[in-house]
Amino acid sequence: MPEFYEQSTDSLLRALQAGELTSRTLTAACLARIDQLNPKLNAFVSVNADAALAGADAVDAKRAAGQSIGMLQGLPVGIKDNMCQAGVSTTCGSRMLDNYRPPYDAHVVERLDAEDGVVVGKLNMDEFAMGSSTETSASGPTRNPWDTDHSPGGSSGGAAAAVAAGLVPLALGSDTGGSIRQPASFCGVVGMKPTYGRVSRYGLVAFASSLEQIGPFARDVHGAALLLQVISGHDQRDTTSVDSEVPDYSVQHSQSLAGLRIGIVDQHYGEGLDDEVEASVRHAIAGLESAGATVSTVELPHAKYSVATYYLIAPSEASSNLARYDGIHYGHRTENFDSKNDGLVDLYCRSRGEGFGAEVKRRIMLGTYALSAGYYDAYYLKALKVRRRIRQDFDKAFADVDVIAGPVAPTSAFRIGEKMNDPLAMYLSDIYTISANLAGIPGISVPCGLTSAGLPIGLQLQAPAFSEMKLLQAAAMAESAREAIGACPVS
């Protein structure tokens, strides 16, 4: 029988339902694998083994008593360290929140508990989700389990690495400009950003409130669909949460793609795209066409402005959201302060200077500048106008196609340290993913191949707002049409 980390989500669920596997046994196996591999990967920043085993025992007791069991059936889950869990350290990868323990659960944590998921621990991330490599974390970088000299992507690199390495079968990340899809591509797993408003952000520590969404990581599309089903739905505590019925996201892998209209964007295949990535993505799209889909070209004329637009809007919102961390109301307070000789501004400056890392400081300064008097209209307001044009481009394209297919990132996983001294090169890692966040539409990354060096490549699919069902169906067909990339070689 395959090890638990080699099995599909379906297989694990069937074994739990049939009593062939207990939640405690599975959770204990995950904890043992974390003990074995996390020292070299640094995917988990904290593990609550006692609480996880107690939660697993509670699910097993319910099953033994014949009680109804939730959708997750006792599956272990990891959560990114920017989602609040009552009494559990939530650092956002930052020294600023080193001692923060929330008094409440995020909405998604409540949903995991309600559907009998077992939360194992918190996953590493770029500081305040600002990064594309999980190298800006105060807890140190996460390493890609396919090759530990390489980055797992970011900012949800810990979640992607944990699922790829089989530390947990499922994980939750957040996506502000590609922070689920890019690490999913780099680590060879499925990662999905839902439509903005589909999943409540209550309890998600804010970075850029109009862009970020919580979404699932899994080894397969069915696992991602299951976890999306669990966390989706209206929450009155989040004013951006949309009050609409959540479909049944159960995915039929055998469903025909006849009639599915796939759009490709010529601009996605220009300068900067690695040849091996392009070949794998085109091969995957050809596989979808062979399965019955039709393929045509669509235009996204304003997509070329996505990176510039994003790096005005996101830092501006970060500047506002992170203003609360002043060492008095919230966050790290400097010890280098003389109350007799220093003023309040000194306390603010030293606390924030010590608490925030270089990338967060850079983005706060960019955002503050863009919002400042005399520059607001020229930068932030103009960026909002371009954002609307980007959304209109997608609306027009989706009048002719059902999904848009293309690369997730220009390259496969780059080496740790390779881009840290070149912020622009790092920002361009998200060139194909950012536009979905600006438009508020869903996107998913599905593994579609390996480079000659043995690093994973992802296919990105995007769909109209609240069309997650169609997106998952197309992703399931892409998954079944491709050749298996094999198990992650970490050991």
- In tens, the pLDDT along 95-109 reads 999 999 999 999 999
Percent of the chain past pLDDT 90, that is, above it, reads 91
Q: H or E stretch including 174?
A: strand 170-175
Asked if 128 and 207 count as a contact pair (C-beta separation under 8 A), the reply is yes
| End-to-end CA separation in angstroms for the chain | 18
Instruction: Quote helix, strand, coil % in the chain, to nearest 5.
Output: 40, 15, 45
Tokens for 125, please give them. Answer: 């991330």
Token reading at 398: 């989706």
Tokens linked to 213:
């969404």
Helix (H, G, I), strand (E, B) or coil at 445: strand
pLDDT of residue 252: 66
pLDDT, position 338: 81
Phi–psi pair at 175, nearest 5 degrees: -130, 110
User: Starting at the edge strand that comes first in sequence, how are the strands of the sheet with 118-123 ordered?
Assistant: 44-47, 118-123, 76-80, 170-175, 213-218, 190-193, 443-450, 456-462, 403-407, 261-264, 294-297
Kindly report whether the peptide bond that precedes residue 155 is cis, defined as omega within 30 degrees of 0: yes
Confidence bin at 112 (pLDDT 50/70/90): very high
How far does CA 147 lie from the centroid of its chain? 20
- Tell me the pLDDT tens digit for each residue of 16-67: 999 999 999 999 999 999 999 999 999 999 999 999 999 999 999 999 999 9
Question: What residue has token string 């932030």?
Answer: 380
pLDDT at 257: 77
Question: What size, in residues, is the chain?
Answer: 491
Query: Which pLDDT value is given to residue 304?
Result: 94
In this prediction, residue 491 carries a pLDDT of 75
Tell me the average pLDDT across 91-96. 98
3-state secondary structure of 226: helix
Tell me how far the alpha carbon of residue 57 is from its chain's centroid.
29
Predicted confidence (pLDDT) at residue 377 exceeds the cutoff of 90? yes
Q: Which residues are catalytic?
A: 80, 155, 179
Whose tokens are 């103009």? That residue is: 382
pLDDT category at 340 given cuts 50, 70, 90 is: confident
The torsion defined by the Cα of 420, 131, 124 and 242, in degrees rounded to 10, comes to -170
Instruction: Return the ∠ at Cα 29 (arms to 27 and 34), rounded to 5°.
Output: 95
pLDDT at site 255: 67
Task: Give, as one character, the DSSP assignment of residue 377.
Answer: I
Token representation of residue 130: 């600002």
DSSP state of 430: G
In 3D space, the residue among 133, 46, 172 whose CA is nearest the CA of residue 425 turns out to be 133
Inter-residue contact 79 to 122 (CB < 8 Å)? yes
By CB atoms closer than 10 A (0-12, 13-18, 19+), residue 259 is exposed
**Residue 141 pLDDT:** 98
CB 154 within 8 A of CB 182: yes
Question: Is residue 343 very low, low, confident or very high in pLDDT (cuts 50, 70, 90)?
Answer: confident
Instruction: Count the alpha carbons within 13 Å of 362 in the hemisphere toward its beta carbon.
Output: 13
CATH of domain 4-258: 3.90.1300.10
Give residue for tokens 């099995």: 7
Residue 253 pLDDT > 70: no
The 10s digit of each residue's pLDDT in 157-195 is 999 999 999 999 999 999 999 999 999 999 999 999 999
Please say if the pLDDT value at position 92 is more than 70. Answer: yes
Question: Would you place residue 1 in the very low, low, confident or very high pLDDT band (cuts 50, 70, 90)?
Answer: low
Name 147's bridge partners.
144
